Structure 1
Amino acid sequence: MKHISILSLYDATLTSIDSSHQLFTRVNDFIKYQGKPPFYQVEIVGLTKNMKLGDGHYTIRVDKTIDQVNKTDVIVLPLLCGDFPKAIAKNKKYADWLIGHYHNNVEIVCLCVGSFFLASTGLLNNKQCAVHWAAKNEFQAMFPAIKIIDDTIITDEKGIYTCGGGYSYLNLILYILEKHLGREISILASKMFEIDIERKSQNPFAIFIGQKRHNDELVLKAQEFIESNPTATFSVPEVCEQFSVGRRTFERRFKKCTSNSIAEYMQRVKVEFAKKHLETGQKTVNEIIYETGYNDIDAFRKVFKKFTDLSPVDYRKKYSN
């Protein structure tokens, strides 16, 4: 039997705690129907017996406090909300306990932006971390040494599992079930809870938000210029000429500040422009592509799929009003 400790972190969402508890607990019922003993012992663990969540709107009574947990096999870090630096400070008392258990071969399952707290402990150093696309820039600014993965949903590295994207933590739990109990149980849980087990990428859901938390005024002006002209057909040399800077040096500065080359940034702005028109407009797909400034329809389709994992046609089917 594996013991699971779901941490009741300050500023955690109640839904991520409860749904984790529900999934792992219900799996015991699935196994029971197969005539097998329960596999998980699931407990909610906190600093005190009664933990307040959601700015005090909810109170959760935990099964144990952390000092009462002598041994566990899996620690689940729930999704956090609000101000991440404040949430990290509030949960600091969990850090040594978490680090100690990890070094005692305990698995850590981190749900979405619970990764901000996990990163603050140092346990993600020199590891990959999946981060919600909307939190990527803030995470990168706070933890520049951690390698962010923002295209796939799940990472699995040295006993630490992370996931990016709001409710994609449900897919991470299915992934853990498969590792512990096999594909059959994971598929059964997927069917019972109606979770899309094949969801692998954040890209179809992501909205491009340019990284602007830097102090390079010229790069900021270039970003604003590109974003203000999504249908323009200017080249990278023309952007550099617009600001009277040498291409090689400025491209290096731009990439350092934004994590995108100038060409990639222009592509992503055009893709966002196309996505909005595909979602709401009545124009044909080809008309929208031409409006972005592309004359080569196949070339744009390749760029669009690179950033969304969908063709423009499939994107319209998925998101049009």
Structure 2
Amino acid sequence: MTLRTHLLAASAIAVAAPAVADVNIYTTRQPELIEPVMEAFTEETGIAVNLAFIDEGIVERLRAEGDRSPADLVMTVDIANLKQIVDADVIQPVDSDVLKSNVPATLRDSEDRWFALTARARIVYASKDRVADGEITTYEDLASDKWEGRICTRSGTHNYNLALLSAVIAHHGEEAAKEWAAGVRDNLARKPQGNDRAQVRAIWAGECDISLGNTYYMGKMLEDAEQTEWANSVRIVFPEFEDGGTHLNVSGIALTKAAPNKDEAIQLMEYLVSDHAQAIYAKDNYEYPVLDGAALSDVVASWGTFTPDEMDLPEIADHRPAALRIMEEVNFDG
């Protein structure tokens, strides 16, 4: 079969399933981020991949479609979203030795219902001019009053920050996490706003000295001529929890309950954690491979090494409701 990677509107997939055994994916990831690795799979196997980008409402769509859904796989980012599809009971477990061998236990569901494909660290972007080397060491330190008026971040209720606060709860309990959230709030230079790149722009503009962000945004900013100057004004710092490592979140994949092309879908899942696919992800998206030993891109490698936190991601996800409540109680977003 010739290479046939399709980018379809969600409604187009729902109208008619392909006549051949393609693999249909509902994804919250922008298609351009995952098309290169899907094209490589098609080239290697002859199995075409149909991508349906659904920014919001994947769970509701899968529930509405039920057994008639054409979707074989669902791809999303953030442990909270992965937990949501588990809780909605729209996916099924996959018993695969390849997936279990290539994806660490801390980065997959204990009942094999989802598997991480890539990881990203939630780190600190620090001004090269105004923050000294070694001045930031822990997440806990971000609540110290030495950072008063010096921190920028996106909304406290965004999934990325809720996942980080959930990890604080997992490490220290709810009361300590509430104190930490209030401390970070008190250190904000401005009302939470924008995305992670906007915080780096604020550092470049002198509005704050440090910000919370995901690692891969550095690579994306360096690609953009308008944003390169922002990126070059900061360095990446990998804080750790006092009793752990650097917080990770993931992109992940799961097999839907309907999965009309189950065998081909599992074949794709296994391919996505292979050496070849993980190297493509790392190079094109500036993310960290989940496969031990897979090559990093030169840009990612230049950021340095860190010790990943070993806290179990599903456990972190369990604390998300408490994290949201805390952010609202401390009025983090003002």
Decide: shared fold, TM above 0.5.
no
Structure showing greater radius of gyration is 1
Using CA pairs below 8 Å that are at least 6 residues apart, which structure has the higher relative contact order?
A: 2
**Which category of TM-score, normalised to the shorter sequence, fits these structures?**
under 0.3
Structure holding more helix per residue: 1
TM-score normalized by structure 2?
0.25
Q: TM-score, normalised by structure 1?
A: 0.25
